[in-house]
């Protein structure tokens, strides 16, 4: 068994919380009848977080093979959630961006997750101290993710306008 260091109880609690978060995201996607898998949703969230990206960079960020990303984005493009394009200054690379529909889907799922998390915290009768909130923020940042307020700011501008690029 792997040693977890001096924070074993915290690490195990976070592991349980991560299972809850994955289940919550999966439930929200299923309830929306969006026909988007969890892996596809993760791709949409990464595009919302990082903005338009080269497909090779996005595959690396998601830790998937470029061919896997291509097939996933084929499906997302057919659903009008992402689009491929070439930048005027980079005609060789294929870039990916959220469409307004893709951005909206991410926003709807995130808002529903926020609503459900609020209900869970209420039902658990949790009254979080600033110290515990700061701890969670540090964990989020250490994982490479954005704090919530920053994430929503990026989400607001994540659908790349068509007139700023040259389509293939």
pLDDT tens-digit readout, 94-110: 999 999 999 999 999 99
The whole-model pTM stands at 0.84
- For the chain, first and last CA: distance in Å? 50
CATH class of 7-164: mainly alpha
Q: Please tell me what DSSP assigns to residue 163.
A: G
CA-to-CA separations, 133 to 71, 86, 138, in angstroms, rounded = 39, 41, 9
Output the pLDDT for position 164. Answer: 44
Say which residue the tokens 């469409």 belong to: 99
Output the pLDDT for position 165. Answer: 44
Domain spans of the chain? 7-164
Hey, what are 83's tokens?
């689009």
Question: In 37-147, which residue ranges form alpha helices assigned H by DSSP?
Answer: 38-50, 55-62, 66-78, 100-123, 130-142
Output the pLDDT for position 168. Answer: 38
Q: Give percent of the chain with pLDDT exceeding 90.
A: 56
CA-to-CA separations, 62 to 56, 59, 118, 136, in angstroms, rounded = 10, 5, 28, 23
Note whether 101 and 56 are within 8 A (CB): no
pLDDT in tens, the chain (168 residues): 566 677 888 889 999 999 999 999 888 888 887 789 999 999 999 999 999 999 999 999 999 999 999 999 999 999 999 999 988 887 788 999 999 999 999 999 999 999 999 999 999 998 888 998 899 999 999 998 888 888 888 888 888 655 444 443
Taking Cα atoms as reference points, which of 7, 40, 34, 45 lies closest to residue 152?
45
């Amino acid at each position: 068994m792997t040693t977890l260091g001096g924070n074993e109880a915290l690490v195990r609690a976070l592991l349980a919380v991560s299972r809850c978060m994955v289940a919550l995201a999966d439930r929200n996607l299923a309830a929306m009848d969006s026909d988007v898998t969890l892996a596809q949703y993760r791709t949409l969230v990464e595009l919302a977080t990082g903005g338009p990206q080269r497909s090779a960079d996005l595959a690396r960020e998601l830790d998937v093979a470029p061919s896997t990303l291509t097939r996933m984005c084929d499906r997302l493009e057919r659903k009008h959630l992402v689009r491929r394009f070439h930048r005027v200054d980079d005609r060789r690379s294929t870039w990916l961006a959220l469409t307004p529909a893709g951005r909206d889907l991410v926003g709807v799922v995130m808002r529903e997750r926020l609503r459900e998390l609020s209900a869970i915290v209420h039902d658990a009768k949790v009254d979080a101290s600033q110290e515990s909130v700061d701890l969670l923020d540090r964990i989020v940042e250490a994982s490479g993710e954005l704090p919530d307020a920053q994430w929503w700011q990026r989400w607001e501008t994540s659908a790349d306008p068509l007139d700023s690029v040259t389509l293939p």
